[in-house]
Structure 1
Amino acid sequence: MKKLFDYTGRNVIAYYSGFLTKSINGMEVNDEDKNAFMLCINELERDKGLDLILHTPGGDSQATLSLVDYLRSMFGADMRAIVPQIAMSAGTMIACSCRSIVMGKHSSLGPVDPQFGHIAAANLLSEVRRARDEILADHRNALFWNPILSRITPSFIERCELAVADSNEFLEATLRENMLSDLKGAEQDSTVEKIKEVFANNIGKAHNTHIPAKQCAALGLKIEELEADQTFQDLVLTIHHCYMHTLANTAAFKITENHLGRALVKQQASQVVEVPMSQLVPFEMPSGSPPPSQGSEMLSPPPLPTKEPRAERPRAARVGSG
């Protein structure tokens, strides 16, 4: 990371989640992450901008909005997102708030539509609208839709509508303020609408849809090709593989770190398994061994069974030539 800073002259912060190899609460974007970014931003020269390396499945939308607001207050519009592999959902929202996004041919962004557990808010609202249209067209369709609609409360539908509205408004506002600020009038409007149609998931795709760099650029996002600068690519991918190796082979599940080596690492707590005393067998010390300290008891598993020696059998005669 220090070499990347020396090469670009820009501050570097890496934000990595181990979601590809672990499933632990806290790996997603949440309000606690702001403390990690406060730690990493302290003492940085903010006039040098920020290169933010992202690898995350997403997370809480309101925590993301608050985090983006904080980053913008520190570095203004001079932020660049680097996505070596995946920045989905809330990670895409962070990336779209930057001036540009560096992506490789293997990199992906994803839809930013809100989720309630495993329920996609946009998909649920789309299903409710479909049910309404089909029932109005033919009342006999109510026999099919009533059991489904009866499981949805009116308050939940309203929550979905508000969450989708917040997400869409943020995406549009942040694009207009930074990445697409050099576009004016109708050109900016049409570009924002094309991006929103795909990333706000108005086209009804799955929430985990991977949107590659080529499609992101075609929609109008400012995409810088990672492969355009071989030295830069080598530095970024070396950092990426170091983090992936660490997250896969240690107890760490989330790392936020800057190029000065200041970091906050979240680690999975070790679990202690209690074994009932009835399963432990007392162990007798061999003669001549020093006695154990007072109040202690030597325990060991039961001795392995011994085998009786087998009687030697006569070898069978070989049949055939040789």
Structure 2
Amino acid sequence: MPAQGILEEFNLAATEIAKDPSRIHLWQPVIAKYWPTLITSCQHAIDWSDTLLRRCLTNCMMKDEPDAVRVGKIDKVANLLGKQSTSKSHNRHISQDVATSLGLSVVRLEEDNALQDLVLTLHHALTITFAHTGAVKIIENHKGVAYVQKMEIVKAG
């Protein structure tokens, strides 16, 4: 769920209604679709995502950086990648140059033929799977345990 987008929309509604109460009738159908606890759940999802980002960068990619340097780099990464207001989209492409300028460690596929072959093989396998099955989401761990979410395909006729 686009938690940050939902919160931004909710805050926009609150601001517009506070400025001009006659706008409540425009926002009421939108806000009526929100279930109880949605706003709180969105905030929890955002907080958890930020915690995971910071923990992973601190304990893995940037673990050898001095604290003062690491905190600054992580803040820059979190501000670009972890906020919809700056990235504008969850699936927005971030170039290798931008990622590197943020302090992220980037392996260029073109410089590692074995890695490039593995990534492209996986990409092609998933592309074919999604195109020819009802699968819409696949998550698999390093132990071969997989979760596959499927969409039921109903043929008319």
Deviation for aligned residue 1:137: 2.5
Q: 1:129 to 1:181 in 2, by over 3 A?
A: same
Q: More relative contact order in 1 or in 2 (CA 8 Å, sep 6+)?
A: 1
Residue 224 (structure 1) aligned to one of 91, 107, 110: 107
Aligned to 1:134: 16
Deviation for aligned residue 1:184: 3.0
Deviation for aligned residue 1:244: 4.2
Q: 1:192 to 1:145 in 2, by over 3 A?
A: same
Q: Does 1:240 align with 2:119?
A: yes
> Once the two structures are superposed, what CA deviation does each residue of 1:152-179 show, in whole Å capped at 9, x if it has no partner?
1331111111111111111112211222
Q: 1:154 to 1:174 in 2, by over 3 A?
A: same
| Counterpart-to-counterpart distance in 2, 1:255 and 1:160 | 23
| Counterpart-to-counterpart distance in 2, 1:257 and 1:145 | 43
Aligned to 1:122: 4
Q: Is the 8 A contact 1:196 1:202 kept in 2?
A: no
Q: Does 1:149 align with 2:149?
A: no
Q: Is the 8 A contact 1:121 1:164 kept in 2?
A: yes
Structure holding more helix per residue = 2
| Counterpart-to-counterpart distance in 2, 1:222 and 1:183 | 12
| Counterpart-to-counterpart distance in 2, 1:182 and 1:201 | 25
Aligned to 2:60: 178
Q: 1:264 to 1:170 in 2, by over 3 A?
A: closer
> What CA RMSD, in Å, does the superposition of the two structures yield over aligned residues?
3.3
Deviation for aligned residue 1:125: 0.7
| Counterpart-to-counterpart distance in 1, 2:30 and 2:147 | 41
Amino acid at match of 1:122: Q
TM-score, normalized by length of structure 2? 0.70
Deviates more, 1:242-251 or 1:140-149: 242-251
| Counterpart-to-counterpart distance in 2, 1:182 and 1:121 | 32
TM-score, normalized by length of structure 1? 0.38
Amino acid at match of 1:135: I
Residue 213 (structure 1) aligned to one of 88, 96, 109: 96
> Once the two structures are superposed, what CA deviation does each residue of 1:6-57 show, in whole Å capped at 9, x if it has no partner?
xxxxxxxxxxxxxxxxxxxxxxxxxxxxxxxxxxxxxxxxxxxxxxxxxxxx
Structure 2: where are the runs of 5+ without partners? Answer: 149-157
| Counterpart-to-counterpart distance in 2, 1:156 and 1:189 | 31
| Counterpart-to-counterpart distance in 2, 1:255 and 1:155 | 28
Deviation for aligned residue 1:180: 1.8
Q: Structure 2 matches for 1:151-166, cutoff 5 A?
A: 151-166=33-48
Structure 1: where are the runs of 5+ without partners? Answer: 1-114, 268-322
Which one has a bigger Cα radius of gyration? 1
Q: Structure 2 matches for 1:251-270, cutoff 5 A?
A: none
Q: 1:138 to 1:214 in 2, by over 3 A?
A: same
Q: 1:245 to 1:171 in 2, by over 3 A?
A: closer
Identity of aligned residues (%): 24
